[in-house]
Structure 1
Amino acid sequence: MPFSHSGISDKVTRPISLNSLQRVFHFSKEKIAHLKSKANAEMGTNNISSLQALMAHHWRAITRCGHLNPDQVISYRVAVGLRQKLKPPLPKEYLGNALKGVSVKSTACELLQHGLGWAALHINKTIASLTAEEVKKTLKDWVNAPLILSNMRSNIPTSTSTVSLLIGSSPTFNVYGNDFGLGRPVAVRSGAANKMNGKIAVFPGAEEGSIDFEVCLLPETLHAMAEDAEFMEAVATCTKPCIYESCLAD
């Protein structure tokens, strides 16, 4: 594989949005099941997953609370796991990262005019459209022209007319099954790395079947979401906003 040390910077990349706040929204198993049922019923399907319905609920809330122009595009970039998409699938023993980002896009007007089910099915179809052949092509292209990213934001196309969100991690990780000698964990957080406006991390909640969304957004958007009745109706609990600079200090 062609490689050059000049492609790797020895400089520490600082987060881009130091004025962002972070908050964790906790969704119970019952609330998630309700969103999933509602999304599938609206579209007459059973293909929408619990996480896709929850992402759609979140995507629409950020759009609504961000007070965007109707023609602004809001891109919801999802880190998709490739283990089962490859043929043959990767073995469970494979320890490396296996993911690819796909962007689900909509104008603010279109996203809010349609319901939860439309947004969830849009996410579902975009993820399903990622084929094994496309993944293999991406890997071959990378070998021919390796790209070392300095931060997660550098992997997101930017535009003055586009608002970009990036969601990663997974609610399937068995984070609460680890005991390092202090007993069962009480919470999981991602730390200060790769935090910027629009970054979302998904973790399993402490209770079985629940999910936590760790959200980093501009203060005005995050405060508006906490006061948005439609969004908060599905939220079981949420943490107080964490000032971004204090996260860096931690």
Structure 2
Amino acid sequence: MSKGAVVMVTGAAGALGRAVCEMFLARGDTLVAVDLDAQALQTLYGDNERVQTVATDLTRWDATDAALARLPGLSVLCNIAGGFDMGPAVHETADALWQRMMALNVTTLIHACRAVVPGMIAAGGGAVVNVAAASASSGKASMGAYCAAKDAVARLTESMALEVREHGVRVNAVAPSIIDTPANRGAMPDADPTRWVSPRDLAAVIAFLASDQACAVNGAVVPVVGLS
């Protein structure tokens, strides 16, 4: 990916999404910033002529297809959209929690890829970077639905990498530990955030995986765990 590429970032209004957008903008790229929150997109990117904002619900294919059908040719897709909820034990997990974790973390990824990857194949190349989770490398108590969803992201990354490599499209993922966000600080006030991964540092790894410097990297799920 050369500088001046067109990069789509989902979850662009979130803490990590903002850091990823800032990283690519600093490189001179053009962005398609996608999020459910139209007002946040306008506030963050409305005055930047190198950012096209798209407010849509990526959990719905009809909305995704309608919103992304006429986008310019994309070189990079960063699937940052996702979500986390603690849960009860697996045998007590309600359908709503299971469906929410799968929708936010897996369905959004599949819909974005369905909309974007065919264009990359037609153009002869591109890069996709997904966000898995270090905690999903094994099951965790009260996190069954989340771990299952993020493990699905890792396995889908590996499958896609094999499916599209002959078309010049690379697919990789990062697997961060706890990300230093205001929400996580609020949820864990007694923890030491200096041992967490900053959004900017994680964004740097994502940008590397999307770059030509990572041309030999495909199908990797890269741990980004800081000092945790």
* TM score, norm. by length of structure 2: 0.30
Higher relative contact order, chain-length normalized (CA < 8 Å, sep 6+): 1
Question: Whose helix proportion is higher, 1 or 2?
Answer: 2
* TM score, norm. by length of structure 1: 0.28
